[in-house]
């Protein structure tokens, strides 16, 4: 690790610049993305990941200094991208050469800050869709408390602690857990001191807040955003591009609604098969004939996905996941529901309620209606009601060949 420069070393001599600096770390190789170039320079919806990451920074209400940390062979390209993103604020932009580790790259960013910067935000360029509001929240909380501040989301999955042999040792209480994002804000002097402590201890950490906390400083969490996910794998990049394309399309056609309430309808049909176990309405049904499908065939879950996506104008389950994608072979309906609702939230909507009509002779649904409604309500973060009916032996459902699910969703812009 390189030695830490004093605040302001190798920086602009002016003391009249902004009090807040944003270090955008874009020096990673992006191996897991598999694009053959550093991920910050991969194109998404016509612009690079880096340009998307810089756009919300330059929309902040108050001016900030921005330092972009990149590989040595990408400095010229980063400067051009930064100038496009910064516009009239280009004089507040600097590009620094990163190191072999995240910590050495952040150190390079710290060394490039102007002397007047007192609060530092460290942000991953890979979180390219992070909204400006998240930067503002972090800056405001840091100014109010003088502490380190990190944005985070509540953990929704059940978390297990396992031993070296992958045997479960403990179920962790997720109420006390947060999935941490960036930007992370710190008092500049405290962050520099924390890096010195880490150097002395030869310590490493997965984020800057860990080093800051290890040095004895308090760190506060504030609300994060579903849109601030990290682009790491090809699936993440595909998801980000879809969100960007949908956002641009909405702007082009003026699709932003005059009302905050929107509705959507989804229909799904699956035939029974003889191989496997029935999954329906988020539940397993031992002893019942399963439904055929590339995934688990959960017609109720799939209909809800189409309903919420259509309500927000975000496409459908086929365009979002692909019926021939091997990653979703046998996937449960919960996987699709979580992803659809995450995309819904990223577009600025929440579910008001969902109503489903299930049509079929089997299984007998009434005894488990309440259980199914509870599971699905938890997945969509809104109330779900399900009604079930038969067709008096008419049609393919009446003959017991399969089921149909029809869902309607009511959503509201946040």
> Is 318 marked within a binding site?
yes
Is residue 234 in a domain?
no
Q: What are phi and psi of 110, to 5 degrees?
A: -60, -40
Instruction: State the angle between helix axes of 234-253 and 333-346 in degrees (0 to 180), rounded to the nearest 10.
Output: 50
Q: Are 290 and 403 in contact (CB under 8 A)?
A: no
> Is 295 marked within a binding site?
yes
Are 180 and 316 part of one and the same domain?
Answer: no
- Measured at the CA of 209, the angle between CA 204 and CA 214, to 5 degrees, comes to 60
Closest CA to 128 of 401, 371, 346: 346
β-bridge partners, 24: 68, 123
Spatial separation of the C-alpha atoms in residues 18 and 142, rounded to whole Å: 15
Is residue 3 in a domain?
no
Are 198 and 73 part of one and the same domain?
Answer: yes
> Is 399 marked within a binding site?
yes
**Burial class of residue 90, CB neighbours in 10 A (0-12, 13-18, 19+):** middle
CATH number at residue 299: 3.30.1330.50
Q: Are 195 and 107 in contact (CB under 8 A)?
A: yes
Tokens of residue 276, six digits: 């496997």
Is residue 61 in a domain?
yes
Are 209 and 300 part of one and the same domain?
Answer: no
β-bridge partners, 358: 388, 405
Residue where the block lists tokens 């998801």: 239
Is residue 11 in a domain?
no
Spacing of C-alpha 386 from chain mean position: 29
CATH number at residue 89: 3.90.550.10
Is residue 240 in a domain?
no
> Is 52 marked within a binding site?
no
Are 175 and 306 part of one and the same domain?
Answer: no
> Is 316 marked within a binding site?
yes
Tokens of residue 227, six digits: 């849109």
Residue 366 CB contacts under 8 Å (≥ 6 apart), including other chains: 388
Are 221 and 275 part of one and the same domain?
Answer: no
Of 228, 243, 275, the residue that ends a domain is: 228
Is residue 7 in a domain?
no
Helix, strand, coil percent content, the chain, rounded in steps of 5: 40, 25, 35
Domain count, the chain: 2
β-bridge partners, 124: 25
Tokens of residue 191, six digits: 């962050």
**Burial class of residue 75, CB neighbours in 10 A (0-12, 13-18, 19+):** middle
Are 217 and 288 part of one and the same domain?
Answer: no
Closest CA to 120 of 217, 252, 236: 217
Of 208, 228, 248, the residue that ends a domain is: 228
Are 203 and 342 part of one and the same domain?
Answer: no
Three-class HEC string of 193-262:
HHHHHHHHHCCCCCCHHHHHHHCCCCEEEEECCHHHCCCCCHHHHHHHHHHHHHHHHHHHHCCCCCCCEE
Q: In tens digits, what is the pLDDT along the chain, a chain of 414 residues?
A: 344 444 444 444 445 679 999 999 999 877 777 778 899 999 988 899 999 999 999 999 999 999 999 999 999 999 999 999 999 899 999 999 999 888 999 999 999 999 999 999 999 999 999 999 999 999 999 999 999 999 999 888 888 999 999 999 999 988 889 999 999 999 999 999 999 888 766 667 778 999 999 999 999 999 999 999 999 988 888 889 888 877 776 666 554 444 578 999 999 999 999 888 899 999 999 999 989 877 788 999 999 999 999 998 888 887 776 555 556 566 788 888 998 998 898 888 999 999 999 999 999 999 999 999 999 999 999 999 999 999 988 999 999 999 999 999 999 987
Spatial separation of the C-alpha atoms in residues 141 and 5, rounded to whole Å: 27
Are 223 and 269 part of one and the same domain?
Answer: no
β-bridge partners, 271: 402
Per the structure, the complete domain to which residue 317 belongs is given by 260-413
> Is 396 marked within a binding site?
yes
Closest CA to 267 of 321, 317, 341: 317
Residue where the block lists tokens 């010195």: 196
Of 188, 208, 228, the residue that ends a domain is: 228
Is residue 244 in a domain?
no
Are 213 and 296 part of one and the same domain?
Answer: no
> Is 317 marked within a binding site?
yes
Please provide the distance, in angstroms rounded to a whole number, between the alpha carbons at the two ends of the chain. Answer: 45
Report pLDDT for 347.
84
> Is 253 marked within a binding site?
no
Q: Which helix (H) or strand (E) holds 157?
A: none
Report pLDDT for 8.
43
Is residue 9 in a domain?
no
Are 145 and 289 part of one and the same domain?
Answer: no
Residue 69 CB contacts under 8 Å (≥ 6 apart), including other chains: 23, 24, 25, 26, 27, 95, 96, 97, 98, 105, 106, 108, 109
Are 64 and 168 part of one and the same domain?
Answer: yes
What dihedral do alpha carbons 363, 367, 371, 376 form, nearest 10°?
A: 40
Are 273 and 143 part of one and the same domain?
Answer: no
Spatial separation of the C-alpha atoms in residues 113 and 8, rounded to whole Å: 6
> Is 392 marked within a binding site?
yes
């Amino acid at each position: 690790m390189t030695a830490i420069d004093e605040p302001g070393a190798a920086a602009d001599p002016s003391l009249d610049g902004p009090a807040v600096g944003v270090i955008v770390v874009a020096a990673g190789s992006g191996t897991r993305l598999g694009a053959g170039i550093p991920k910050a320079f991969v194109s998404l919806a016509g612009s690079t990941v880096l340009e998307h990451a810089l756009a919300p920074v330059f929309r902040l209400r108050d001016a900030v200094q921005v330092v972009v940390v990149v590989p040595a062979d990408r400095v010229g390209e980063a400067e051009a991208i930064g100038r496009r993103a910064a516009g009239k604020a280009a004089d507040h932009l600097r590009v620094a050469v990163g190191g072999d580790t995240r910590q050495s790259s952040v150190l390079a960013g710290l060394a490039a800050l102007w002397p007047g910067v007192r609060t530092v935000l460290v942000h991953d360029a890979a979180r390219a869709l992070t909204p400006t509001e998240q930067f503002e929240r972090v800056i405001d909380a840091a100014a109010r408390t003088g502490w380190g501040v990190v944005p985070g989301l509540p953990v929704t999955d059940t978390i297990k602690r396992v031993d070296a042999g992958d045997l479960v040792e403990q179920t962790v209480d997720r109420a006390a857990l947060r999935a941490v994002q960036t930007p992370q804000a710190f008092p500049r002097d405290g962050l520099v001191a924390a890096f010195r402590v880490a150097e002395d201890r030869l310590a490493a950490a997965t984020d800057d807040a860990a080093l800051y906390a290890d040095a004895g400083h308090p760190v506060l969490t504030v609300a994060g955003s579903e849109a601030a996910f990290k682009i790491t794998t090809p699936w993440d990049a595909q998801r980000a591009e879809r969100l960007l394309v949908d956002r641009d399309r909405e702007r082009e056609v003026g699709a932003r609604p005059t009302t905050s309430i929107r509705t959507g309808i989804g229909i799904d049909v699956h035939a029974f098969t003889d191989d496997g176990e029935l999954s329906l309405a988020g539940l397993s049904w031992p002893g019942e004939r399963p439904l055929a499908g590339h995934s688990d065939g959960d017609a109720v879950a799939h209909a809800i996905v189409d309903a919420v996506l259509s309500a927000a104008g975000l496409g459908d389950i086929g365009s979002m996941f692909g019926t021939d994608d091997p990653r979703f072979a046998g996937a449960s309906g919960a996987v699709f529901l979580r992803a659809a609702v995450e995309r819904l939230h990223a577009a600025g909507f929440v579910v008001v309620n969902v109503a489903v009509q299930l049509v079929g002779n089997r299984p007998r649904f009434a005894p488990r209606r309440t259980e199914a409604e509870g599971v699905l309500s938890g997945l969509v973060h809104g109330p779900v009601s399900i009604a079930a009916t038969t067709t008096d032996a008419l049609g393919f459902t009446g003959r017991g060949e399969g089921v149909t699910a029809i869902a309607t969703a009511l959503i509201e812009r946040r």
